[in-house]
Amino acid sequence: GEDVEQSLFLSVREGDSSVINCTYTDSSSTYLYWYKQEPGAGLQLLTYIFSNMDMKQDQRLTVLLNKKDKHLSLRIADTQTGDSAIYFCAETAGGYNKLIFGAGTRLAVHP
């Protein structure tokens, strides 16, 4: 079936790197996504990776995809207090690519 799992909490010190991990089940997913949700706000698309890639870098963000293990990670370099939010991993499923979301990882950045 379709399922996405993420660890629920991550706490890091400002300036350190954060790594958020995700596992998914649908091997036919074309794209895998990371969305960010700040308190009381909507979902902001952070980045995505096409299933035939194994890495994508976008400024402070690095996405790694291990298709064999169905494992996706998001690394945030030089984490700032403004990065505190919930980060959702999502896989696409079905012909019209409905998004299946993980439960979200709550990232807390402390001084």
Residues between 51 and 90 that touch other proteins (CB under 8 A): 86, 88
| Least Å from the CB of residue 95 to other proteins | 8
Closer Cβ to other proteins, 9 or 69, answer by number: 9
* Tokens (6 digits) for 26: 């649908």
Name the strands in the sheet holding 61-66, side by side, starting at the edge strand that comes first in the sequence.
4-6, 18-24, 71-76, 61-66, 55-58
Residue 33 interacts with other proteins (CB under 8 A): yes or no: yes
CB of 13 to other proteins, least distance (A): 24
For residue 57, CA distances in Å to 10, 25, 60, 64, 85 come to 21, 24, 8, 9, 20
Site residues, other proteins (CB under 8 A): 31, 33, 35, 37, 41-45, 48, 86, 88, 92, 94-101, 103-104
